[in-house]
């Protein structure tokens, strides 16, 4: 029996998304939103759901509360063919929730972390680690329970024979306390966006930031928003322009969908340029529907949307 494709470790929460908001929030006043959606949130879960839709055999390890939102998270992932065997429920915390306030192509988020902070290195199914080909972890800064062990986690994943990828995401405390010099040697594919990379390294330009991580990073797949993406490793630099979406809905989960496209192509054994092209396409596809998973309901729907919207094969 062959190995399974992917084990994702990360945070789990629901997104409550407000659109068409009549102005910015102010203390002592009330604003009205014309539209609301309650959907699967969290970087890790959006990545897992969308890469599973792309045909990758995916299992998820995370923690939820024993509540309705926790049940919704597990049921939504199940419906997207993500194996939820390694999701545990705690009665000590409620399931995480993010309130997303959308303003055109930007947004303001408020997150209650809840159960996601209770996940620890010991919750990861290490006894099954050698049955998976690839290990992915997202949203390091929101998961307090794994932070002290982050290098040990990637070291152990590598020693189990998995290739690895990491998407740090934003640090809400703006401290960027992540020892990239120790951890990145065990990360095969590092997946920051430009802003995150600049904040992590404390550099003023992307070129300086890439030079700072180059001695310790293996491959950096850099998300550049409307400028597309870049792959940077010790031997080459590849840049590809973004696919332009003229029917933009929102950018929630676009980076996670970029990751899904990149890692799914990587698992096929493709070269970096092919990985980046698919990542740019899946990131753009994400913005054609509401929320992180709206554009990834089925592989057939993804293929049809890629063809009709971008004239591309997925």
- Torsional sign, CA 65, 66, 69, 75: positive
Q: How many domains does the chain have?
A: 1
In this structure, is residue 256 part of a structural domain?
Answer: yes
CA distance 198 to 200: 6
In this structure, is residue 34 part of a structural domain?
Answer: no
HEC readout, the chain: CCCEEEEEECCCEEEEEEEEECCCCCCCCCCCEEEEEEEECCHHHHHHHHHHHCCCCEEEEEEEECCHHHHHHHHHHHHCCEEEEEEEEECCCCCEEEEEEEECCEEEEEEECHHHHHCCHHHCCHHHHHHEEEEEEECHHHCHHHHCCHHHHHHHHHHCCCEEEEECCCCCCCCCCCCHHHHHHHCCEECCEHHHHHHHHCCCCHHHHHHHHCCCCCEEEEECHHHCEEEEECCCEEEECCCCCCCCCCCCCHHHHHHHHHHHHHHCCCCHHHHHHHHHHHHHHHCCCCCCCCCCCCHHHHHHHHHHHHCCCC
pLDDT digits (tens, 9 = 90+) for 119-134: 999 999 999 999 999 9
CA distance 95 to 70: 5
Q: What is the pLDDT of residue 246?
A: 86
| Mean per-residue pLDDT of the chain | 95
Other Cβ atoms less than 10 A from the Cβ of 165: the count is 26
CA distance 119 to 183: 19
CATH code at position 77? 3.40.1190.20
In this structure, is residue 112 part of a structural domain?
Answer: no
Q: What is the pLDDT of residue 107?
A: 81
In this structure, is residue 20 part of a structural domain?
Answer: no
pLDDT grade for 173, boundaries at 50, 70 and 90: very high
In this structure, is residue 33 part of a structural domain?
Answer: no
In this structure, is residue 16 part of a structural domain?
Answer: no
Q: What is the pLDDT of residue 217?
A: 97
pLDDT grade for 258, boundaries at 50, 70 and 90: very high
pLDDT digits (tens, 9 = 90+) for 227-245: 999 999 988 999 999 998 8
Q: 35 pLDDT exceeds 90?
A: yes
Q: What is the pLDDT of residue 252?
A: 84
Q: What is the pLDDT of residue 251?
A: 84
**CA angle 6–7–8, rounded 5-degree value:** 115
In this structure, is residue 171 part of a structural domain?
Answer: yes
CB 248 within 8 A of CB 105: yes
Enclosing domain of residue 147: 4-11+43-92+117-310
Q: 1 pLDDT exceeds 70?
A: no
**Quick one: average pLDDT of 27-49?**
94
CA distance 300 to 278: 16
**Quick one: average pLDDT of 199-210?**
97
């Amino acid at each position: 029996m062959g190995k399974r494709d992917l084990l994702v470790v990360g945070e789990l929460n629901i997104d409550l998304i407000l659109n068409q908001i009549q102005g910015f929030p102010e203390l002592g006043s009330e604003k009205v939103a014309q539209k609301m959606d309650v959907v699967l949130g969290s970087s890790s879960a959006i990545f897992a759901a969308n890469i599973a839709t792309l045909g990758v055999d995916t299992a998820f390890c995370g923690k939820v509360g024993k509540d309705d939102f926790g049940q919704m998270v597990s049921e939504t992932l199940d419906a997207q063919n993500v194996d939820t065997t390694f999701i545990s429920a705690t009665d000590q915390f409620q399931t995480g929730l993010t309130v997303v306030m959308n303003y055109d192509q930007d947004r303001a988020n408020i997150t209650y972390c809840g159960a996601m902070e209770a996940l620890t290195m010991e919750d990861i199914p290490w006894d099954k680690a050698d049955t998976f080909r690839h290990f992915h972890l997202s949203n390091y800064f929101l998961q307090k329970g794994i932070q002290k062990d982050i290098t040990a986690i990637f070291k152990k994943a590598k020693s189990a024979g998995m290739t690895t990828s990491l998407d740090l995401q934003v640090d809400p405390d703006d401290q960027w306390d992540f020892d990239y010099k120790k951890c990145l040697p065990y990360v095969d594919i590092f997946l920051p966006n430009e802003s995150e990379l600049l904040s992590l390294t404390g550099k003023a330009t992307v070129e300086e930031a890439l030079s700072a991580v180059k001695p310790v990073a293996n491959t950096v797949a850099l998300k550049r928003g409307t400028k597309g993406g870049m792959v940077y490793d010790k031997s080459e630099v590849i840049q590809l322009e973004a696919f332009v979406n003229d029917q933009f809905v929102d950018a929630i989960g676009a980076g996670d969908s970029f990751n899904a496209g990149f890692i799914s192509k990587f698992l096929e054994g493709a070269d970096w340029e092919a990985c980046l092209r698919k990542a740019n396409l899946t990131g753009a596809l994400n913005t054609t529907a509401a929320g992180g998973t709206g554009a990834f309901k089925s592989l057939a729907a993804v293929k049809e949307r890629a063809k009709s919207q971008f004239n591309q094969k997925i």
